[in-house]
Amino acid sequence: MLNRNKHISQVVVTAAQMRDIEARIFAAGMPVSALMEKVAGLIAKRIQEIWEPSNHVGILTGPGHNGGDGLVVARELHFRGYDVWIYLPFDKLKELTSQHLQYAQSLGIPCYQEIEQLPDCDFLVDGLFGFGLEREITDPIASVINQLNEWNKPIISIDLPSGLHTDTGEVLGTAIRANYTLCLGLWKQGLLQDQALDYIGKAELIDFDIPWADVQAVLGDVPKVKRITPTTALSTLPLPRPPVTHKYKEGHLLLICGSRRYAGGAILTALGARGSGVGMLSIAVPESLKQLLVSHLPEALVIGCPETETGAIAQLQLPENTNLSSFSAIACGPGLTKDAISIVQEVLASDRPLVLDADGLNILAQLGTILTLQQRQAATVLTPHTGEFHRLFPDIADAKGDRVKAVQEAAAQSGAVVLLKGARTAIANPQGSVWINPESTPALARGGSGDVLTGLLGGLLAQAVNKAIPVEDIVATAAWWHGQAGILAASERTELGVDAFTLSQYLLKVIVGRS
């Protein structure tokens, strides 16, 4: 059971996949009505944990089984002492939904068809539309939803807020702005897309015991799209270390970053790498930055390189008897400027696992993303934000829309592991597997936050290079760790108090007590 619960919390499905899974459950003999009773009972229990039974509640009811869930919730809350009313603006209902309406009315629960008739309430339960909605909501229901949103009453949505596309999170005309979303059975992909986040509030999973065999039958042994959970992220950390080891066994990372104009990028990337616990850290910077980096990271080997007139690295000047193959992994890009094109070309030609960020990505786009990466033999990780993504992959559809599809296409075309930054960072490997980070904070929307991630990711990659861990799993762990550091820092300092330097200092705090 523990193993099932661990997997269930990871799984992310589309509407079509959820239909197929439910179809298997019903074909095995589970009555639809029985499942509806079970689900609605769990929803009512969770609502009671959020609001006391003395509250007045309005149930927004649609014509399908999502509305049926809402009607059973109405009945259960009525029995638990809530003052309940039902809003049902539809005349034609599914048979089971109609039966639940009939019973609710027999209990004396009032039902209204016009929004102008609705009494005041303390909160609303949204059961208008369930998963699978694809057409745009139009008047008169669109106007009703807009009016309900203007009430500024807390709303709990069943499964997902009415009006959101299940897979993309797109707003289909208009949508309920929920404070809570109680997702049923398995996480819906749309709830993990950036464009849905203004509508879902706090999302929770209502696990109604879907048999794992039915999930596997539809999704396979390894689902294509998964949520990163603390358990999965921590499982890939290079902890505990063996009792007998040394610094080079714990990874040697080369950072190539910085310029006279962007010295801070080199420092922040290096601090992220330090936070990863990497055994040995070398940092290649323009000669004029060497003493600055040494003062911030005395434990690192700082390599001063010849620089251009503009203060960018002109050429790599590694220590004697050292070349790029001497390192476990390379991370390149923050603060480089586009004048460092020859440096990026050199690391792309190396046989080392490589993380590219910032100007490393901009230079890659100039070189031609797909053709350039097709020549690489070692693992490559790209970490673009949306603007960089469009420069790298101009032929891929808008990454602000269906981010899961966009990152899958980018990884497939390039052969790289692609991390698309955002409120819900998405990571894909070339085979189409996707990890989504389900938690983040707006505190990370500050200059330098991405540099810290690049260093952290490079450090983890260097430590894992001799371990049988998929690269995308290491990338997922870095994204989760980085996000959790931001969340922890914001909880202690407010969202305005999390600059990139502070963020780097919270990396270790995330791990202490968890590992």
Do residues 498 and 448 both lie within one domain?
yes
Indicate if 301 and 358 belong to the same structural domain: yes
User: Is the CB of residue 160 less than 8 Å from the CB of residue 186?
Assistant: no
- Residues 130-163: tens digit of each pLDDT: 999 999 999 999 999 999 999 999 999 999 999 9
Say whether both 445 and 307 belong to one domain.
yes
321, 392: one domain: yes
- Would you say 451 is a known binding-site residue? yes
Asked whether residue 167 is marked as a ligand-binding residue, the answer is no
CA distance 326 to 364: 23
135 is an annotated ligand-binding site residue: yes
Q: Residue 104 is part of a domain; what is its CATH number?
A: 3.40.50.10260
Please report, for the domain that includes residue 432, its CATH number.
Answer: 3.40.1190.20
59 assigned to some structural domain:
yes
DSSP state of 273: H
Among 191, 223, 255, the domain boundary falls at 223
pLDDT at 3 over 90: no
Q: Are residues 177 and 249 in the same domain?
A: no
> Residue 129 — very low, low, confident or very high, per pLDDT cuts 50/70/90?
very high
pLDDT tens digits for range 471-503: 999 999 999 999 999 999 999 999 999 999 999
pLDDT for 238 equals 80
66 labelled ligand-binding: yes
Q: Can you give the pLDDT at residue 244?
A: 76
422 is in an annotated binding site: yes
pTM: 0.95
Strands (E), 42-110: 56-61, 83-87
Within this chain, do residues 366 and 468 fall inside the same structural domain, yes or no? yes
Token pair, residue 115, equals 């929004």
Is 65 flagged in the annotation as binding? Answer: yes
Question: For residue 7, is pLDDT > 90?
Answer: no
The structural domain count of the chain equals 2
Contact 118, 85 (CB under 8 A): yes
* 421 is annotated as contributing to ligand binding: yes
The annotation status of 390 as a binding-site residue, yes or no, is: no
Shared domain check, 274 and 168: no
- 425 among the known binding-site residues? yes
Residue 482 is labelled as binding a ligand: no
* Whether residue 249 is found in the same domain as residue 171: no
- Same domain for 8 and 29, yes or no, is yes
Domain end among 162, 194, 223? 223
Q: What counts of helices (H) and strands (E) characterise the chain? A: 20, 19
Q: Does 401 carry a binding-site annotation?
A: no
69 is in an annotated binding site: yes
Q: Is 483 known to sit in a ligand binding site?
A: no
Task: Tell me if 12 is assigned to some domain.
Answer: yes
Q: Is residue 42 part of a domain?
A: yes
Is 385 within any annotated ligand binding site?
Answer: yes
Is residue 97 annotated as involved in ligand binding? no
Does residue 244 form part of some domain?
yes
Looking at the structure, tell me whether residues 161 and 297 fall in a common domain. no
Cis peptide before 334 (omega within 30 of 0): no
Q: Would 192 be classed as within a structural domain?
A: yes
Q: Known binder of ligand: residue 368?
A: no
- For residues 339 and 433, state if they share a domain: yes
The answer to whether 134 is annotated as binding is: yes
335 assigned binding-site residue:
yes
Is 424 part of any known ligand binding site?
Answer: yes
User: Which of 171, 198, 223 is the endpoint of a domain?
Assistant: 223
Residues 245 and 184 in one domain: no
Residue 515 lies in a domain: no
Which residues are CB-contacts of 389 (< 8 A; sequence separation ≥ 6)? 396, 399, 406, 410, 420
At 429-445, the pLDDT tens digits run 999 999 999 999 999 99
Q: Domain residues for 190?
A: 1-223
